[in-house]
């Protein structure tokens, strides 16, 4: 079955002596076109920010976040892969050590990096929440001052 969309995704090399820079240029052009389509069809950044703010902070004015530092870790620090079958004894212990070592070798660094990123995002959210509360207090103070000035101005006009 002919699919015109798939035809645009194929890279045809018609000649063996073709210049690789031309192929590279075609690839970059296609990537730029796809990236433009991806970002062009996405939501407005203000809408994304509003949804994220509503999800993470909501209408809270206090300096408390619903998440804790422990939830930033993907795997708890004291987590041990538990696989104990007492019948097999030494063979089981050897296999468990090998499996634990392999799993940790492949996953530990990635999980630690993600946990670090999560902690950084948590700290940023905490800082933003504090700044948000401070700005709300300042706005409220400015509104009170403005009301006092308006009240003073209206009372002096009436006198």
Q: How confident is the model at residue 140 (pLDDT cuts 50, 70, 90)?
A: very high
- The average pLDDT across 101-130 equals 85
Is the domain of 38 the same as that of 63?
no
Is the domain of 135 the same as that of 92?
yes
Domain span at residue 21 reads 1-42
Is the domain of 84 the same as that of 143?
yes
The predicted-structure confidence for 50-63, as pLDDT tens digits, reads as follows 776 666 666 554 55
Is the domain of 28 the same as that of 80?
no
Q: How far apart are the first and last CA of the chain?
A: 88
pTM exceeds 0.85, yes or no: no
Q: Are the CB atoms for 27 and 11 separated by under 8 Å?
A: yes
pLDDT confidence of residue 60: 52
Contacts of residue 92, defined as CB under 8 A and 6 or more positions apart, other chains included, come to 83, 84, 85, 86
Is the domain of 10 the same as that of 81?
no
Is the domain of 67 the same as that of 145?
yes
Q: Is residue 51 part of a domain?
A: no
Is the domain of 8 the same as that of 76?
no
Is the domain of 89 the same as that of 151?
yes
Q: Are the CB atoms for 81 and 103 separated by under 8 Å?
A: yes
Q: Is 101 exposed, middle or buried (0-12, 13-18, 19+ CB in 10 A)?
A: exposed
The predicted-structure confidence for 27-53, as pLDDT tens digits, reads as follows 777 777 776 665 555 667 677 777 766
Is the domain of 88 the same as that of 122?
yes
């Amino acid at each position: 079955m002919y699919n015109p969309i798939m035809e645009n995704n194929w890279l045809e090399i018609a000649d063996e002596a073709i210049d690789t820079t031309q192929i590279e240029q075609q690839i970059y052009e296609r990537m730029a076109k796809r990236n433009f389509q991806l970002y062009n069809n996405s939501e407005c950044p203000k809408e994304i920010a509003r949804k994220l703010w509503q999800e993470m902070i909501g209408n809270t004015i206090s300096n408390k976040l619903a998440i804790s530092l422990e939830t930033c870790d993907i795997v708890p620090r004291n987590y041990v892969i538990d696989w104990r079958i007492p019948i097999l004894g030494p063979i089981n212990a050897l296999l468990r050590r090998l499996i634990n070592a392999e799993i940790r070798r492949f996953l530990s660094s990635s999980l630690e990096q993600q946990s670090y990123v999560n902690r950084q995002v948590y700290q940023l959210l905490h800082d933003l929440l504090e700044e948000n509360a401070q700005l709300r207090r300042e706005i409220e103070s400015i509104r009170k001052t403005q009301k006092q000035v308006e009240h003073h101005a209206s009372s002096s006009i009436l006198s």
